[in-house]
Amino acid sequence: MKYPRSAGSCLLPLLLAASPLAMAAAGKAPDPSLVERGRYLTTVAGCNDCHTPGYALNDGKVAERYWLVGDQVGYRGAWGTTYPGNLRRYFNNISEEEWLRTARGANYRPPMPSPALRAMTDEDLRAIYHFVRSLGPAMSLVPAYVPPEQQPTGPVVIFPMPPTRASVPTAPPPAAGL
């Protein structure tokens, strides 16, 4: 199947390549022993599905240099419209300790899987931190959160309202003896 959004091409002019200089400016260099683990966790935890343009629609075939730059596709539901942020910039501007604190108390709006972050060990969180920083900072435009009463301007995935209680079928009670 062909999808209209080709991964990366629209982002090319917006990206800043990772340079040793940019890295030095950001502080601590990534720890190579954690980077590989972080790459693995980021992949299996599905962070790219939302935070990397085109990733979910192209079976993950997006070059790593375009990973986690955030997306302009919004997720609209009862919470308003949210946009998966630019994690490359985010991690570049936050200390490792701040990240651990933030992830422990993660309570983002849907569909960001905050429980996944809260369930990770410190080691996992550190690995993700070091991996994303190893990709270098990237510039990309991610729209700001739009409250529920306002209309977003760009493309959105619309989440249906949850069904009312009355329309949800109730499961039959377990048969006696099971």
Using rule CB under 6 A, residue 92 touches ligand HEC: no
Q: Does 143 interact with ligand HEC (rule: CB under 6 A)?
A: no
Structure tokens at 142: 């991610």
The minimum distance between CB 126 and ligand HEC, in angstroms, equals 12
Contact flag: residue 46 with ligand HEC (CB under 6 A):
yes
* Shorter beta-carbon distance to ligand HEC: residue 15 or 113: 113
Q: Is 60 one of the binding residues for ligand HEC (CB under 6 A)?
A: no
Q: At closest approach, how far in Å is the CB of 86 from ligand HEC?
A: 7
Contacting ligand HEC (CB under 6 A), which of 7, 128, 146, 156? 128
Note the Cα 154 to chain centre separation in Å. Answer: 18
Please, are residues 45 and 121 in contact by the beta-carbon 8 Å criterion?
Answer: no
Q: Which residue has the tokens 């490792």?
A: 96
Size of the site for ligand HEC (CB under 6 A): 21
| Separation in Å, CA 91 to CA 23, 64, 129, 169 | 11, 16, 7, 44
At which residue do the structure tokens 């940019």 appear? Answer: 22
CA angle 89, 92, 96 (to 5 degrees): 135
Does 108 bind ligand HEC (CB under 6 A)? Our answer is yes
Cα pseudo-dihedral 89, 3, 112, 131, rounded to 10: -40
Give the interface with ligand HEC as residue ranges (CB under 6 A): 45-47, 49-51, 75, 82-85, 87, 90, 108-109, 111-113, 116, 128, 145
